[in-house]
Structure 1
Amino acid sequence: MIGVNNHYLTFGSKDEVIRVLDDATAVGANVIRTFLQPVIGSLDGSVATIWDWRAKRDASDLGVKDTYLLYWDPRAGRMAINDGANGMQKVDFLIAEAGKRRLKLIIAFLDFWSYTGGAQQMRAWYGSPDKSGFFFQDPRTKQDYRTWVSHVVQRVNTLTGLAYRDDPTIMAWELMNEGNARPDALRLAWTAEMSAYVKSLDSNHLVSSGHASVSDKLSDLTIPTLDFGTWHGYPLFYKLTVKQFNDTIIEFCQLALRAGKPVLLEEFGYARSNRDSAEAYAMWLDTLVRDPNCAGWVVWRLVSRQDSGGYPADEDEQFDIRNDGGAISNIVKAAAEWAAQIRKAVGGIR
């Protein structure tokens, strides 16, 4: 599996979405991972939105241009879902266009973080300041999550006529991007409960947690209703050298072998400003391609030209990958081509 992440596919313009999908194809990806977002307060402002959703910025910089998927309905006193042109119809478009390009999608139902609302906005609907426990144990937020999952999985795409649960373009559902529930027992219990719920609605697609899984060494792999494991690797965050991170890749692929489930390195990044950035990506991707116990990678993150004309500035983390002929994009493309050749050779033998 060769993939890329993109964070604005559910709220970018149609042209911005198409540019990302075309660039993903150009760098050799066969999978794109994204999150269902944004989540806001109420439209009338009586229930606050905890992030600046009206900001006039580029899509990559979280300018959502009045797009929202989930919101609070103060009249009904409950969560509501936006199925309109500035809501779920944007997801319809993404799935339809990915399908035209034979790209598969990994879709997380929600983001844990508050960048575009996510689970933090949903707990804020109920006035809770608890960022790590409330969402995962309060009966109201748990029911909101189930309602949302049911709506998404059973939605019929207005462009293709296919229910999402029947659409082969969707490779997998993820419960949440980096659902950092605390304590860990709560995270595991919530993951087991909600993955079983997704499976009860959709037996056609794979399910994973979307958890970063580094510190706990893929502890959720033992949950039977998770089909594959995920981990997110940022070596500088974990104070690892390039070589130590390469050793961690090998370690996690061995964990996959012992668990009897695929494990996907579904986020990783290393700042372009590091002098050894190109060499680091080359080493890690070489290891991921060569090791038969590794299920693949999904790099963080592919971005394309914005409607404003240029690529995102990416001055902080500097993780962005661009289809611009640069050293890192060429390394990703070469690794993707090599992996495709290996798959073809193995298929020929079989």
Structure 2
Amino acid sequence: MKYSALFIVLSAVLSPVLAQVPVYGQCGGVTYTGSTTCASGSTCIKYSDYYHQCVPGTATTTAAPVTTTTRVTTTVVPVTTTSQGGSSPTASGVVTRSGTTFMLNGKKFYFVGSNSYWLPMLENTADVDKALDDFKASGMDVLRIWGFADLTSGSGTQTAFQVWSGSTPTINTGANGLQRLDYIVAAARARNIRLVIPLVNNWQDYGGMDRYVQSMLGSGGLHDDFYTNANIKAAYKNYVKAVVTRYSSSEPAIFAWQLTNELRCKGTLAASSSCNAATLTNWVNEMSTYIKSLDPTHMVSVGDEGFFNRAGNSEWEYGGGEGVDNEAYLRLPNVDYGTFHLYVSAWSKTYAWGDQWIKDHAAVATSVGKPMVFEEYGVTRSTGQRLTVIRTWHDIVLANAIAGDMYWQFGAVLPITGRTHDDTNTIFTDDAEYNELVVQYVPRMEAKNA
């Protein structure tokens, strides 16, 4: 979704040295200077050079020595409970696909999930833990977070995964860089949550494709240069490689690597007159193939809004006007599942139009024989229609070939940050609709696993 960038400011700073590290706290890693002694009943486990975490268990309570590998180990952490008291079984297995369904450990895996783009931008691990505990307590299984933060400065505590100085990007593996993603991956694994991680934004929020274009081509660059310029594609691949190879190909916390958030011919920058569906489809084919060469195990998706490229259709969502071709992406050999988004207010559509939009994507999934995920959607709070409309959409999802449902967006009340970003689509855990639209919806979707 396109929105104004939000950078969260801490209201308190934890001491770098603690006598004992609490459960799910960091206990070691490159540049870490705090305590390596875990609280009673927990064990310090190494997940990467940069991040060791205290998890429930009874082994040694000191951090493992750092080695030279940069790939997170595949150790599965036995977990019995979260700090919210909910069940959290041992994480195992990587989610795969079979026909129009996902599979986990040999069983169907229909799921309800959500989006929390802001999670890697949190500067305090207590807030991350609370957000994930609340998410898991709802029964949800899959969470989509941003795997990008392309900035021009990496100083301070603000999250910056890649820092641009002129035309040169530097990948930040420090405490305010990819170590924050390391923490989330480990914390998600401990709670048996799986993550969808997009690797670049179409929009300028947190840098995005236009950061690559403006840094490498200057003011004359156009948005779709991101898809065609050899040097820009090489820079994107360099970042992708750094993130994807940072984790084991058997890491259960990774649901899928995602090429983008909402690719289009244009972003904040304009598109060239030559950008079309072939431009973006060729790029998707190249980059999905590249990720599979690095990690053949985890799934790959595009993260597109689901627009169609159907000749003769005058509606921009169906007629290829944005250069997006949802059906063509799904037919590519290294794209594992399709995605689509839905914002009827922003697109000047009716709710009934949205009903058909869901059905049309289910039909594509059936035709191609791959899963389809309703990845982003929202009804603004001010309409007063949220409960009625989303009820209808849920009924359509349950009756059709939609393999996963991820509303935009999950909202939580955190101990330090307070209420997370509210774009009026956010459904907070203390909202009146949360129980019906989230908690009660989970078992309805999971009934499709029978």
Both structures adopt the same fold (TM-score exceeding 0.5):
yes
Aligned to 2:428: 322
Percent sequence identity over aligned pairs = 28
| Residue pair 2:154, 2:163 contacting (<8 A) in 1 also | yes
| Residue pair 2:213, 2:223 contacting (<8 A) in 1 also | no
Which runs of structure 2 are paired with 1:148-297 in the superposition (5 Å)? 148-155=239-246, 163-181=247-265, 182-214=275-307, 215=317, 216=320, 218-219=326-327, 220-291=329-400, 293-297=401-405
Instruction: Encode CA deviations 1:136-188: one digit per residue, 9 max, x unaligned.
Output: 11111100011111111111xxxxxxx34331110111001112134222111
| Residue pair 2:127, 2:417 contacting (<8 A) in 1 also | no
Aligned to 2:119: 9
Aligned to 1:299: 407
The alpha-carbon deviation at position 308 of structure 1 amounts to 4.9
More helix by share: 1
More strand by share: 2
Instruction: Encode CA deviations 1:273-314: one digit per residue, 9 max, x unaligned.
Output: 1122111111111221232x1112111111212455632473
Equivalent in 208, 212, 221 of residue 122 of structure 1: 212
The alpha-carbon deviation at position 97 of structure 1 amounts to 0.5
Aligned to 1:140: 231
| Residue pair 1:11, 1:37 contacting (<8 A) in 2 also | no
The alpha-carbon deviation at position 332 of structure 1 amounts to 1.9
| Residue pair 2:198, 2:261 contacting (<8 A) in 1 also | yes
Aligned to 2:145: 34
2:139 & 2:173 partners in 1: Cα distance?
32
Instruction: Encode CA deviations 1:196-236: one digit per residue, 9 max, x unaligned.
Output: 00111111101011111222562322212111111111112
- CA spacing shift, 1:73–1:333, aligned 2, 3 Å: same
Amino acid at match of 1:238: W
What 5-or-longer segments of structure 2 have no aligned partner?
1-110, 266-274, 308-316
1:237 & 1:320 partners in 2: Cα distance?
15
- CA spacing shift, 1:253–1:136, aligned 2, 3 Å: same
Q: Which has the higher contact order (CA 8 A, sep 6+)?
A: 1
What 5-or-longer segments of structure 1 have no aligned partner?
45-53, 55-64, 156-162
Equivalent in 157, 168, 180 of residue 78 of structure 1: 168
Aligned to 2:201: 111
TM-score normalized with structure 1 length? 0.84
1:151 & 1:165 partners in 2: Cα distance?
13
The secondary structure found in structure 1 opposite 2:129 is: helix
| Residue pair 2:379, 2:385 contacting (<8 A) in 1 also | no
| Count, aligned residues | 313
1:168 & 1:131 partners in 2: Cα distance?
38
Instruction: Encode CA deviations 1:300-347: one digit per residue, 9 max, x unaligned.
Output: 111212455632473xx410011115114432211112222342xx1x
The secondary structure found in structure 1 opposite 2:418 is: coil
Amino acid at match of 1:78: T
- CA spacing shift, 1:309–1:71, aligned 2, 3 Å: closer
1:24 & 1:103 partners in 2: Cα distance?
9
1:128 & 1:17 partners in 2: Cα distance?
38
Equivalent in 74, 80, 87 of residue 177 of structure 2: 87
| Residue pair 2:130, 2:415 contacting (<8 A) in 1 also | no
- CA spacing shift, 1:73–1:241, aligned 2, 3 Å: closer
Runs of 4+ in 1 over 4 A off after TM superposition: 306-309
Amino acid at match of 1:69: F
2:352 & 2:343 partners in 1: Cα distance?
13
Aligned to 2:52: none
| Residue pair 1:179, 1:211 contacting (<8 A) in 2 also | yes
1:164 & 1:115 partners in 2: Cα distance?
29
Which structure's CA Rg is the greater one?
2
- CA spacing shift, 1:324–1:239, aligned 2, 3 Å: same
2:406 & 2:447 partners in 1: Cα distance?
18
TM-score normalized with structure 2 length? 0.66
